Chains A and B, each alone.
Chain A
Amino acid sequence: MSGIDLPIRVRGLKNVFGDHVVHEGLNLDVRQGEILGVVGGSGTGKSVLMRSIIGLQIPAEGTIEVLGSSITDARDDEDIDIRSRWGVLFQGGALFSTLTVAENVEVPLREFYPEIGDELRHEIARYKVLLSGLPAEATRKYPSELSGGMRKRAGLARALSLDPELLFLDEPTAGLDPIGAAAFDQLILNLQQTLDLTVFLITHDLDTLYEICDRVAVIADKRVIACGTIPELLALDHPWIQEYFNGPRGRAAEAAKQRNDRAERNAPSRVAQPDDGQAPGEHKG
């Protein structure tokens, strides 16, 4: 789209809370059109890194460039232009609780493009709801009437409201049942391919890493210690990486990926569509 090879470029990032240094000398590149998974133990600052990149957390040192403009020394005016080009899905969905799902999707549209008429805006909100794998009835529901999985999909619909180039996802599959999580993975992958997105994805879910991530960045010791495909990471002998991918869960996820790949080769037509991603287990009881 914009022809920028590295939509996100982080150099020498340092984040400090009081005496506690979260990041020091952290470098990270996200390439155009890839899904980058970010992993790390609890408390290693994955969310802080995301908050720094989207400008919610002002770092102590370092530079961050997103889509070619600097976040670290951006003034407000410049910032706004970039903000319309990314979408963010927070962990709990962070929907506005007094608005319906569709009204939530409309908020960014109203904010950035007031010249869009009511009718078109409603249409956009409606198809985004379906595109995120929600049933049509969810359009007019309030967040409190939705299950956790549906709330995440609604959050995704809002994140995609402006057709962003960059999508930030903070633990999208956390708290979902395995069926719902797998469906959400497929939804992200499909949307990424359809909409040509670059995705920055924080996760603990090994299945997600194996299924949809092109590369994985590992945060430990206050910086990104490695960034590459899973086979590349497995070739390193860092103890945390080995434990992470070769622990019982890591091996199970790898086995599952191989099973899926075999099944896919045998039945190549089985490609999930965005609108059948709604898992039955996700409806609120």
Chain B
Amino acid sequence: MRALADFTITPEGETGGATLAFTGPMTVASLGPIDARLRAVEDNVAQIDLSGVDRIDTVGAWIVWRTADRTGARILNGTSEADRLIAAISKADDNRVPITADRLPLLSRVPARVGETMIGLGQGSLEVLGFLGQFMQAIWTLLRRPTTFRGKALVHQMELVGVNALGIIALMSFLVGIVIAQQGAVQLRQFGAEIYTVNLVGRLTLRELGILMTAIMVAGRSGSAFAAQLGTMKLTEEVDAMRTIGVSPMEALVIPRIVATMVMMPLLGVYSAAIGIIGGAFLSSLTLGIPFFTFLARIQEVVPLHDVWVGLIKGPVFGLIVAVAGCYQGLQVRNNAEEVGTRTTAAVVMAIFMVIVLDAFFAVFFTEIGWG
């Protein structure tokens, strides 16, 4: 148990006015409990007696100074250390600035935030379009001067985005394939149409789920990584350093990431669909009595080729969205470490949202042009 500071008030001596005597150590560790009591003192204090104080630090000095300032009391019997600290503190006593940054009251803060969000949404969409334009422009410059292309960075990013994702995408697709086959078979059995499980698994994975699940996985794995990497580079002024050297961050950082994602996404999508089909075939051979290779052979017969095309066309588009969202949000980071977090979250949310919206659009579009 550590020693605590205390004080006593002796009312009205012969000198007039009460004497407030502090005792014990007056340090940051011992003053917390008496602060509130001290604030409540109403007496007419004329002297503050420090003879009972054995140790004092700036917090103690502050409390003595504050009390003396408020009551107009004189400070008596301080040690030289106490006097020195109180003198130092008295010079630092004109700070009335609130310690937190400005905050509006709740009633105006909520509408203000709603408004800011709406304006931010509008401006954000415009800025993303602008970013896309910059990207196109950079690609155009690159096409005219292909020697400046950063092949090594591209291959490195392709490895990070594509090759390193093979394991997790395989696992996910295999399980999704099993679930579709199993749940599909339960429903189809009611019509005695279990054999259509093959159609269900084949068409669904190639056309929709393979690429959609892959896009979501890549958004979570690589889109977030892009945002965090670029955001941190922005904070440490690496991006500014690049600019001053004459290296365009767009060329060195953004293009390799976006191109790598656009190339890898359709490949991962087809891979995911293939593994999904294997998952479906695996389950069918176990529970539905359709042999594994018969299942695979049937896929060729029941899945039209345009289903594969649908998946392949969506791939680069989804890749573009995921990578643009990641890079754009990363480069928007300013000020502090918290921004890296919020921007990374924003990149993933934006990417997944846009991917799903566009997927719905593609579904209608391809059906309308007769690829149903």
Please report A residues at the B interface, Cβ cutoff 8 Å: 1, 84, 97-98, 100, 102-103, 106, 109, 112-113, 115-117, 119-120, 122-131, 136-137, 139-144, 160, 162-163, 194-196, 273-275
Q: Does A273 lie within 8 Å of B91, measured CB to CB?
A: yes
What are 28 A-B residue pairs whose CB atoms fall within 8 Å in the complex?
A: A1-B55, A97-B335, A97-B338, A98-B338, A100-B101, A103-B99, A116-B31, A116-B32, A120-B59, A120-B63, A122-B99, A124-B59, A126-B95, A126-B99, A128-B58, A128-B92, A130-B91, A131-B92, A136-B95, A136-B96, A136-B97, A140-B98, A140-B101, A142-B336, A143-B336, A144-B336, A275-B91, A275-B92
| Closest residue on chain B to residue A114 by CB atoms | B32
Q: Which residues of B contact A106 (CB under 8 A)?
A: 99
How distant is B30 from chain A, measured CB to nearest CB, in Å?
9
How distant is B62 from chain A, measured CB to nearest CB, in Å?
6
Stretch at the interface among B9-17, B82-90, B185-193: B82-90
Known: A1-B55, A102-B99. 11 other contacts (CB 8 A): A97-B335, A97-B337, A100-B101, A115-B32, A117-B35, A117-B36, A123-B62, A127-B58, A127-B95, A194-B88, A195-B58
Q: Which of B32, B92, B101 contacts A142 (CB 8 A)?
A: B101
Q: Does A117 lie within 8 Å of B99, measured CB to CB?
A: no
Q: How many residue pairs between the two chains, A and B, have CB atoms under 8 Å in the bound complex? A: 111
Q: Which residues of B contact A116 (CB under 8 A)?
A: 28, 31-32, 35
Q: Which residues of A contact B337 (CB under 8 A)?
A: 97-98
**Interface size range of chain B in the complex:** 35 or more
| Closest residue on chain A to residue B335 by CB atoms | A144
Q: Which residues of A contact B338 (CB under 8 A)?
A: 97-98
Q: Does A194 lie within 8 Å of B84, measured CB to CB?
A: yes
Interface mask (B65-85 → A, CB under 8 Å = 1, otherwise 0): 010000000000000010011
Q: Does B35 lie within 8 Å of A274, measured CB to CB?
A: no
How distant is A200 from chain B, measured CB to nearest CB, in Å?
19
Q: Does B58 lie within 8 Å of A131, measured CB to CB?
A: yes
Q: Does A127 lie within 8 Å of B28, measured CB to CB?
A: no
Q: Does B93 lie within 8 Å of A115, measured CB to CB?
A: no
Q: Which residues of A contact B96 (CB under 8 A)?
A: 126, 136
In the assembly, what is the distance between CA of A89 and CA of B51, in Å?
A: 35
How distant is B308 from chain A, measured CB to nearest CB, in Å?
49
Q: Which residues of A contact B62 (CB under 8 A)?
A: 123-124, 127
Q: Considering the complex, which residues of chain B in the window 20-62 have a beta carbon less than 8 Å from any beta carbon of chain A? A: 27-29, 31-33, 35-36, 39, 55, 57-59, 62
